[in-house]
Amino acid sequence: MQNRQKALNFLGLSQKAGKLVSGTELVSIDAKAKKVKLIILAQDSHADTTAKIYKVGEQNNILVINKFTSNEISQAIGKKRKVLGITDTGFCKALLQKIDEGV
């Protein structure tokens, strides 16, 4: 569980560093513009949102991760959100590493 918290803390850090976009529409627009490197989707997202985000990810060759709840995501970034996009390759790799370590 500790690695899970590290990954969530890292989302907050990404937000502060300006390397994160949030919200379904913004993430979709930035994904199509090739600005988003990784999409984080809340496990408890609505079926329509989930389908839309997976389609955007697939069309733009972007990995979609759904390891966190909307509550965890919202607490991590200080805003109520279900969809996040990481816009920096370094932040993307670091977050994936934290997730691989046991989220």
pLDDT digits (tens, 9 = 90+) for 78-91: 999 999 999 999 99
Quick one: pLDDT at residue 14? Answer: 95
* Residues with pLDDT less than 50, the chain: none
Nearest to 73 by CA among 93, 95, 94, 56: 95
Q: Which domain holds residue 52?
A: 2-100
Query: Looking only at Cα atoms, what is the longest distance across the chain?
Result: 35
Distance CA 33, CA 44 (A): 26
CATH of the domain at 65: 3.30.1330.30
Distance CA 48, CA 88 (A): 27
Quick one: pLDDT at residue 1? Answer: 58
pLDDT digits (tens, 9 = 90+) for 6-15: 999 999 999 9
As for how many domains the chain has, the answer is: 1
Kindly report the pTM of this predicted structure.
0.94
Q: Is 59 helix (H, G, I), strand (E, B) or coil?
A: helix
CB atoms within 10 A of CB 56: 22
